[in-house]
Structure 1
Amino acid sequence: MNMAAKRQVRDRRLIWALCIASLVIYINLYMMQGMLPLIAEHFAVTSARATLVLSVTSFTLALSLLIYAVVSDRIGRHRPIVISLWALALSNVPLMFISDFHTLLALRLLQGVLLASLPAIAMAYFKEQLKPQTMLTAAAVYIAANSFGGIVGRLLGGLMAQLFDWQAAMLASLLFSVICVAISHYLLPKTRDAVKRERNERRWSLKRDLAADMQGFAHHLRDSQMRLAYLIGGVTFMMMVNQYSFIQLHLMDVFEWSRFQATLIFVCYSSGTIASYFTARWIMRYGQLPLFAISLVLMFSGSLLTLLDTQVAICAGFLLSSCGFFVTHSCCNSFVAVRATSHRAKATSLYLCCYYLGAALGGPYLMLFWHQAEWQGVILGSMLLLAVIFLGVLRLGFRQRKAELPQPA
């Protein structure tokens, strides 16, 4: 086998390994959303309080992204991913035996830390190990795997809540996680991390190390185009993921869907999964700004379509909105990965930190509109967020055109 063929095999193994790992991450993250009724029953808490298992995980996940960026820039990409994946899989063992809700929250806090490793590192790993064209394709496939994992996690959680008790559900989660992590570990090629620095004779002090890390984050935050990409991605997820939460309440209240039936609305994520796969070639053909414009139209029209308030219109609206959302997310993700020429993991982790913090802030924000006018209020709040995204895209286009103008001598 020649060198080119060996490189292709290694590239495929890397892509498959990180995509399978992403299934583990997003199923473990979102499975609890479909299991909220079972959690409330098993731990004898209200349904509203049960949602804390999602909030605490998202919170520690968002903050831990920044930590993994620092760690992976210092010790490499491979080890943090492998160690955290195995720790995540094994963290399901104590979940089978707990009966106290506060203990559950503590374990979910820990899981949030472990869940952050792959999202923080994956895009930087691709950027360092793959050629640019292959990297764009890998990024699209990886995001499609994220979407698929989110769908399966929610549906699997709802199904297990209906069929199993708590212990059986956690055992199933443990077995699935261990099998997938083992496959991912086997496929993940042994690579020389590009972040390994030349060893200087002198040792850097902790203070100087931390200063270098802070400079890495500041480097990307000083970049106005990076800041706009962070804003666009964070506000888009702020709207989309929380629309899915409130539409479940609407479907159960108005159309009397059962709890498991309401989770079936997440099948509409499939349009985003498909769109993510094709986004790489669309970016190469049309560029990112036209795709941002198209995705805005899809999210705007999809959100308005749900106001017809029929089951068909709601499903069609979410198919359109999900497609637009994942195109936006893919564009932002690839933009950040390609634009970052140094401190790559820090650039990606800053984007994802804004992304998940957006999701955390979106719940309380749209809740205000839900209390005033229920689903119609949620759409009004979403329109305001779409206006912010629109302004961000306009500003990003202006910045890019300005950067392309020849500078005076």
Structure 2
Amino acid sequence: MNNSFLSRLNIVNPGFSASLIWSLSLASVVVYVNLYVMQGMLPLIAEHFHTTPGHATLLLSATVFSLALSLLLMALLSDRFGRRRPIIWSLVLLAITNPLLVYATSFDQLMWLRLMQGIILAVIPATAMACFKDHLTGDWLLKAGAFYIGANSLGGIVGRLIGGAMAQHLTWQESMWCLSLMTAAASALIIYIMPMPKTAAVSAGRDTLSAEVRGFWLHLKDPQMCLVYLIGGSAFMVTVNQFSFIQLHLMSAPYGFSRFEATLIFLCYLSGTWVSFKSAKAIARYGSHKLWRLAAIAMLVGSLMTLYDHILTILLGFLISAWGFFLTHACCNSYVATRAVSHRAKATALYLCCYYLGAALGGPYLMPFWQQGKWPGVVLGSLLVISGLFVLQHLLAKYNGRAAEH
């Protein structure tokens, strides 16, 4: 492993810890490439399966919904049976099911396969942060989480760009074979480098099912946790769907971008990747509450900048918005991981369930704004949600202030 990287992390046990961080971060890239690759391929999917582009978008929504709802079950299994084994099985199953996409002969068949893959993809997001919490502490945990969130961003960028490139230059079958080979190779590498923990990380192996369900309720009755879940879900609701609608805007006049050229807007996620890597030190120094407010302001300013309809202001606006969103996401992940002293995977799963449900609901929410006002309408709908972020952050700060008094 890279010694300079390890020294920056200040890890006492560099062999185990670095392998854990690298393997779970690479697994995150695999998950998000497979989740979002279809977003760049929607025109090809519509053409190949003889459906409309609007109907093809249901494919992404279906996968995100099945992932979101499966997170709760995967967290239960993770707390009951450990972290490493479910992660490995999910990678193996993903590598097995990807070639089946080549032989899908109808859109319905493709939809069912993607629903199944959404369940498989849920394992790693539901487990990774809890795995870090089991084996890392203090600054190590913050830095590992920041690196992992940066990998999330990178996977989202790579997946969409790969999808756009394949849609422009390859057939459906060729694209799916490429995806299958990349996934299988990366999964094999992850399984090889993922360390075997000396002690099993099982927090509730002997609990009854009712006790397991109470683990979810433990976090749902915590007002601070619920507010953080809503903050993350609302922020993702805006960001991921803004990126979808701006592609439609860029493909229309006066820009007239091609399918692949429009997907290049996802390179703006790189500002989110950068801030994710840097977030651990900022959270430790300034605290989550100040950074949440700063992030919401960035999302507000970035969205407003895109109203000046020029390609440079659109790019700059999305760079700022992505920076704000991923700072929000990093703060939410850190807050949930450090606040949850038991049933950690369930706490993370509840956050991610709200996070992905926000993404899935954002499309239907913003669609009427797009239909009535095109891109300015989408910005208006986004500003309403961003205004709600300030309210949620204010309520969270009040709750934390009361807790500090006691």
Please confirm whether the aligned pair reaches a TM-score higher than 0.5, indicating the same fold.
yes
- 1:196, distance to aligned residue in structure 2 (A): 5.4
Q: Counterparts of 1:25-104 in structure 2 under 5 Å?
A: 25-104=31-110
- What does residue 240 of structure 2 align with? 241
How far does the alpha carbon of each residue in 1:316-352 deviate from its partner, in whole angstroms, 9 at most, with x for none? 0000000000000000011001000000000000000
| Segments of 4+ moved more than 3 angstroms | 196-199
Taking a change above 3 Å as real, the CA distance of residues 372 and 197 of structure 1, as seen in their structure-2 partners, is: closer
- What does residue 382 of structure 2 align with? 382
Matched residues, number: 395
- What does residue 398 of structure 1 align with? 398
Moved more, 22-31 or 44-53: 44-53
Q: Structure 1 CA distance, aligned partners of 2:203 and 2:328?
A: 32
- What does residue 187 of structure 2 align with? 181
How far does the alpha carbon of each residue in 1:2-28 deviate from its partner, in whole angstroms, 9 at most, with x for none? xx9882210000000001111110000
- State the one-letter code of the partner of 1:327: L
Q: Structure 2 CA distance, aligned partners of 1:19 and 1:300?
A: 29
- What does residue 227 of structure 1 align with? 226
Q: Counterparts of 1:244-255 in structure 2 under 5 Å?
A: 244-254=243-253, 255=255
Any conservation in 2 of the 1:160–1:169 contact (CA below 8 Å)? yes
Taking a change above 3 Å as real, the CA distance of residues 211 and 371 of structure 1, as seen in their structure-2 partners, is: same
Structure 1 residue ranges without an equivalent (≥5): none
Q: Structure 1 CA distance, aligned partners of 2:25 and 2:383?
A: 33
How far does the alpha carbon of each residue in 1:286-329 deviate from its partner, in whole angstroms, 9 at most, with x for none? 11111111111111110000000100000000000000000000
Taking a change above 3 Å as real, the CA distance of residues 277 and 5 of structure 1, as seen in their structure-2 partners, is: closer
- 1:197, distance to aligned residue in structure 2 (A): 5.5
Q: Counterparts of 1:320-331 in structure 2 under 5 Å?
A: 320-331=320-331
- State the one-letter code of the partner of 1:175: L
Any conservation in 2 of the 1:42–1:99 contact (CA below 8 Å)? no
Q: Structure 2 CA distance, aligned partners of 1:6 and 1:252?
A: 51
Q: Percent identity?
A: 53
How far does the alpha carbon of each residue in 1:344-365 deviate from its partner, in whole angstroms, 9 at most, with x for none? 0000000000000000111111
Q: Counterparts of 1:246-285 in structure 2 under 5 Å?
A: 246-254=245-253, 255-285=255-285
- What does residue 342 of structure 2 align with? 342
Any conservation in 1 of the 2:370–2:377 contact (CA below 8 Å)? yes
Moved more, 128-137 or 104-113: 128-137
Aligned mate of 1:162, from 159, 163, 168: 168
Q: TM-score, normalised by structure 1?
A: 0.95
Taking a change above 3 Å as real, the CA distance of residues 45 and 198 of structure 1, as seen in their structure-2 partners, is: closer
Aligned partner of residue 283 in structure 2, secondary structure: helix
- 1:132, distance to aligned residue in structure 2 (A): 1.9
Taking a change above 3 Å as real, the CA distance of residues 398 and 368 of structure 1, as seen in their structure-2 partners, is: same
- 1:164, distance to aligned residue in structure 2 (A): 0.9
Q: Structure 2 CA distance, aligned partners of 1:193 and 1:243?
A: 41
Moved more, 190-199 or 156-165: 190-199
Aligned partner of residue 384 in structure 2, secondary structure: helix
Q: Structure 2 CA distance, aligned partners of 1:48 and 1:109?
A: 18
Any conservation in 1 of the 2:237–2:358 contact (CA below 8 Å)? yes
Aligned partner of residue 306 in structure 2, secondary structure: helix
Any conservation in 2 of the 1:32–1:54 contact (CA below 8 Å)? yes
- What does residue 156 of structure 2 align with? 150
How far does the alpha carbon of each residue in 1:258-306 deviate from its partner, in whole angstroms, 9 at most, with x for none? 1111100000000000000000000001111111111111111100000
Structure 2 residue ranges without an equivalent (≥5): 1-9
Q: Structure 2 CA distance, aligned partners of 1:370 and 1:285?
A: 40
Any conservation in 1 of the 2:233–2:356 contact (CA below 8 Å)? yes
Q: Structure 2 CA distance, aligned partners of 1:300 and 1:75?
A: 43
- 1:210, distance to aligned residue in structure 2 (A): 2.2
Aligned partner of residue 58 in structure 1, secondary structure: helix
Taking a change above 3 Å as real, the CA distance of residues 259 and 5 of structure 1, as seen in their structure-2 partners, is: closer
Aligned partner of residue 103 in structure 2, secondary structure: coil
- State the one-letter code of the partner of 2:319: L
- State the one-letter code of the partner of 2:243: Y
Taking a change above 3 Å as real, the CA distance of residues 196 and 364 of structure 1, as seen in their structure-2 partners, is: closer
How far does the alpha carbon of each residue in 1:67-101 deviate from its partner, in whole angstroms, 9 at most, with x for none? 00100111000111100111011111111122211
Q: CA RMSD in A?
A: 1.3
- 1:194, distance to aligned residue in structure 2 (A): 2.6
Q: Structure 2 CA distance, aligned partners of 1:197 and 1:33?
A: 38
Q: Structure 2 CA distance, aligned partners of 1:97 and 1:317?
A: 41
How far does the alpha carbon of each residue in 1:109-153 deviate from its partner, in whole angstroms, 9 at most, with x for none? 000000000000000000001122111100000000000000000
- What does residue 4 of structure 2 align with? none
Taking a change above 3 Å as real, the CA distance of residues 243 and 88 of structure 1, as seen in their structure-2 partners, is: same
Q: TM-score, normalised by structure 2?
A: 0.95
